Chains A and B, each alone.
Chain A
Amino acid sequence: MSTDAQSGEDAGVEPEPEESEGPPMPQSTSETPSYDGEFDAIVVGAGLAGSAAALTMAEEGLDVIMLERGNSPGTKNVFGGIMFTPRIRELTDFEDAPKQRFVAQKTFSMLSEEGDATEVSMQPAAWKEEPHNDSWMVLRGDFDEWFAEQAVDAGATLITETTVTDLVREKGAIAGVETDRPDGRLHAPTVVLAEGANSLVSEGAGLAESQQRTDVAVSAKEVRKYDRETIEDRFHLTDEEGAAMHYFGDGAVGDAVGGGFIYTNKRTLSIGVVYSIEDAVHDERSPDEVLDDFKSHPAVAPLVTGGRMIEYSAHAIPEGGPDAMPDLVHDGAVITGDAAGLVLNNGLHLEGTNMAVESGYQAGKAVADAVASGRTDAAALSAYEEAMNDSWVIDNLNHYGWFLDAAAEDKEFLFDDLPRAIADAETDYFRMNDEPKTRHTKSARKRLVGAMGGYLGAAKKAWKYRKLFS
């Protein structure tokens, strides 16, 4: 802007001092200025990836605008959920974040349709110490609103109730966005796509392929409210301690690749199921019926009985792994978070929030460097893709990418035969009758080995799944 106080433009902007008596009159502002080119970057979606990108760029001095379709950030997502927080803790004053409980206890249970349950529970003492393994249960409505506020405090602009419908291209490069509002086109040199799992903008603009249904999971979740004491008694928790319970087997989600979960908040439980859309198509039950069946399993029902449902939601989760990931960098645009398919589910680890924040952060840094260099083509933005390839995010996705395919192949075994065989083996092994224990052990072993297809089958499966623990 000109520093010449005599220039006509400046004189027009300065309010004239009131000559007459009375209060200052408002300046008529009928003309709407254009914001084309006023922002260095447009962030599509103010979820975790979007706010991490906006915060990072704003701190690097960029003018950033976030466009969010909900009436506030966090209203459009569905999430269990555990928030994994290593990067967020670096980016923010994390003590002030609205959190529910830290994960003090994790359980994994095999459930059979008949009502059997086998549970492995772990509560390492280290998780009770700061920073609690960076694993917190949060309510995303509160958390995302707070996280977006951190970006706004750093100087970013947040515009809500505005849906990006398409990308604007100029000479092949992405040069802005089209929104659902009148006068809805906005030009900027870079666009950060952080639109979430249902990545219609990226797909519509040809930056990502529409997802195969085998690569997408459906999640149904409800939040139920209880007394704080009820939750702490049922799950043996004190203070800020929380429990993350994961359930597998056909007692959890029937004949499908997936599982159920219960997460403890302060005064609510998040109870849900996640399973492949491919299986949902073939299941005669709807997701809410699958959720109801999970809640009535004898191992689950006592934990969730009573309370009052305060929220119900269903959502899609990208689970295509590394093969389904779109190109992260384009001329004038980068793709982050769920929109980039950055979700890890290998049965033991269910992660996405940490990858969303990490990708937003790395994208924000790369965009800031690119804007500073005056070029925002794919080559100038490639630092983002390189940083991701060097990071734990892509490393983990590659390492576990095989898992869901293997699980789909072995669905019958993993989710049906195995839980039942384990339950039957337990019944045999601990049986109280007039037979000697050696016979119980032999019978239990026979059930397990039989379920795995003999000793050779067991060896093959052990080899196949070795990378889960390597």
Chain B
Amino acid sequence: MSDDWTIVVCVKQVPDAAEVSIDPDTGTLNRADADAVMNAPDYNAVEAALEVRDAVGGTVTALTMGPASAHEVLRAAVGMGADDAVLLTDRAFGGSDTWPTSLALARAAEELDADVVFGGEETTDSSTGQVPPGIAAHNDWAQLTYVEELEPRPEEDQLVAKRDVEGGYERVAAELPVVVAMEFGENEPRTAGLHRKIYAETDFEPVEWSAADIGVEDEVGLAVSPTQVGGMATAEPVPREQELVDDVENLADRIAEVS
């Protein structure tokens, strides 16, 4: 393995949560109402990828799967400082759940000869958190999930992570290649520089790969997706009991009573 690391960061275009609404009849998201933006935890993933690159040397390639309009999230990542971008786009990908999605991303990461693959902990439009572990599983690579901080050790080909666990944190060292799922809000995503942003949004063009380019044409899409949404129901909000107490002592008493 060379000294420089090849880093891939997976990003996803999601409907802007501030604008999205739920159709009360079907229970599905009215995606058309909302602008498409980058999944919020992915900004933390891109920032972490750039920090590791800046510390170790190498390149960061942004990767996404989606229609042509998904160019925009790749441009956002390139604006922040990613060096390249690849869009997996093909009708064959349509209807893929997390299994074929993580397979396609895993094959693309392999094709790019990745040392580290980054992703956000989950996406705001489906919230499964399954894709980064899925990439690791498909490629039989190490995985670091719910990561708060990273310490690259290039001379040992290791990446050390501080992971959020129940009741505290743990430090884990993983051998490369490794998949990292960054926890939301754990770093301060950088602002795109003006000239870089202009470049990313005007002159930059991501490379496009089809399902056949990465050899998964028969392994993706709705037909091979093991999960299917059986139905949706919207829950009415439960009215919550509210009470004003006069001082801290009374509050403590009330909490003791209730619990």
Contacts and interface: CB of A to CB of B under 8 A. Distances in A.
B61 A26 contact: yes
Contacts of A157: 198, 201-202
A33 B191 CA distance: 17
Contact of B59 (A30, A35, A183): A30
A23 B213 contact: yes
User: What does DSSP make chain A's interface, helix, strand, loop or mixed?
Assistant: loop
B201 A182 contact: no
Contact of A29 (B83, B201, B209, B213): B83
Nearest to B214: A23
A182 B194 contact: yes
Contacts of B192: 181-182
Interface string B84-109: 11100000000000000000000000
Given A22-B111, A35-B199, A28 B59 contact: yes
Interface string B190-231: 111111111101111011011001100000000000000000
A35 B198 contact: yes
Contacts of A179: 194
Given A183-B194, A184-B194, A33 B213 contact: no
B11 to A, nearest CB: 14
A25 interface: yes
A32 interface: yes
A183 to B, nearest CB: 4
A27 B198 contact: no
Interface residues of B, number: 30
A217 interface: no
Contact of A23 (B193, B197, B209): B209
B203 A33 contact: yes
B213 A159 contact: no
Nearest to B215: A22
A443 interface: no
A186 B61 contact: no
A451 interface: no
Interface in A276-328: none
A159 B199 contact: no
A183 B195 contact: yes
Contacts of A184: 193-194
Interface in A13-68: 22-30, 32-35, 65
A412 B213 CA distance: 78
B84, B112, B191, B194 — most chain A CB neighbours (10 Å)? B194
Interface of A: 22-30, 32-35, 65, 71-72, 157, 159, 162, 179, 181-186
10 contacts: A23-B210, A25-B207, A26-B61, A26-B206, A28-B59, A28-B84, A65-B198, A157-B201, A159-B197, A186-B198
Interface of B: 35, 59, 61, 78, 83-86, 111-112, 190-199, 201-204, 206-207, 209-210, 213-214
Given A26-B207, A159-B198, A183-B193, 11 more contacts: A22-B213, A23-B209, A23-B214, A25-B112, A25-B207, A26-B61, A29-B199, A32-B195, A35-B198, A181-B193, A182-B191
